[in-house]
C-alpha cells in the first residue's frame, strides 16, 4: 500500500511524520534542516515506499495565507519535478504548533524538552498527518 508522509515546512526546520504501510498510524519521523530537506527525502524515498505527501497549508485566523506559502509553493514545484510519482495534498495547519506545544507540555517532558522547536515541528507534522488520515476515512 505504501506510506503517507506529512511535511510541516518551515524556513529553518521542517517536521516530518509518516504512517505505517497500512496507513493507519501517524508517527513523528524527524525534524530536518530545511536546506537539507530534498536530500533527506531522496534518501528516505529510496528506502521506503511513499505514495502520498501531505504538506501543511499555513492559513492565519483571518483565512489568509501566511508569508511562508511562497516558499512552500516553490518547494512543492521542486518536489513534484523530482518525485513525479508521489501525490501531493495540502491540509490546513492552523493551530498545529499550538496543539503540539500543548500535547508536549501534557506529556511530562522537562521544560527544556517542551521548548525544543524541533520536537514541536515533528509533533506538528504528526498532527497534520493524523488530521489527513481522519479526513480520508470520512
Domains and CATH numbers, the chain: 3-137 (3.30.420.140)
Q: How confident is the model at residue 100 (pLDDT cuts 50, 70, 90)?
A: very low
DSSP 35: G
Q: Using one digit for the tens of pLDDT, what is the confidence trace for 56-67?
A: 988 877 778 888
Looking at per-residue pLDDT, the higher value among 25 and 100 belongs to: 25
* Distance, CA of 82 to CA of 78 (rounded, Å): 6
Q: Which cell numbers hold the place of 45?
A: 524515498
Higher confidence at residue 130 or residue 117? 130
* Contact between 51 and 2 (Cβ < 8 Å): yes
Condensed to tens digits (0 to 9), the pLDDT of residues 20-42 reads: 999 999 999 999 999 999 999 99
Q: Can you read off the three cell numbers belonging to residue 25?
A: 498510524
In angstroms, the CA 82 to CA 100 distance is: 30
Q: Average the pLDDT over 125-129 and give the result.
A: 91
Q: Which burial class, exposed, middle or buried, applies to 28 when counting CB atoms under 10 A from its CB (0-12, 13-18, 19+)? A: buried
pLDDT at 102: 53
> Rounded to an integer, what distance in angstroms lies between the CA atom of residue 118 and that of residue 60?
21
**How many other CB atoms are found less than 10 A from the CB of residue 74?**
10
Amino acid at each position: 500500500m505504501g506510506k503517507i508522509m506529512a511535511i510541516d515546512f518551515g524556513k529553518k526546520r521542517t517536521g516530518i511524520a509518516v504512517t505505517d504501510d497500512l496507513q493507519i498510524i501517524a508517527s513523528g519521523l524527524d525534524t530536518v534542516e530545511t536546506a537539507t530537506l530534498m536530500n533527506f527525502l531522496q534518501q528516505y524515498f529510496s528506502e521506503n515506499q511513499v505514495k502520498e505527501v501531505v504538506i501543511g497549508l499555513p492559513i492565519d485566523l483571518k483565512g489568509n495565507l501566511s508569508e511562508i506559502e511562497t516558499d512552500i509553493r516553490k518547494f512543492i514545484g521542486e518536489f513534484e519535478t523530482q518525485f513525479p510519482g508521489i501525490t501531493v495534498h495540502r491540509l490546513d495547519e492552523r493551530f498545529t504548533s499550538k496543539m503540539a506545544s500543548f500535547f508536549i507540555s501534557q506529556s511530562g517532558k522537562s521544560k527544556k524538552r517542551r521548548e525544543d522547536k524541533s520536537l514541536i515541528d515533528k509533533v506538528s507534522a504528526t498532527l497534520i498527518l493524523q488530521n489527513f488520515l481522519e479526513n480520508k476515512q470520512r
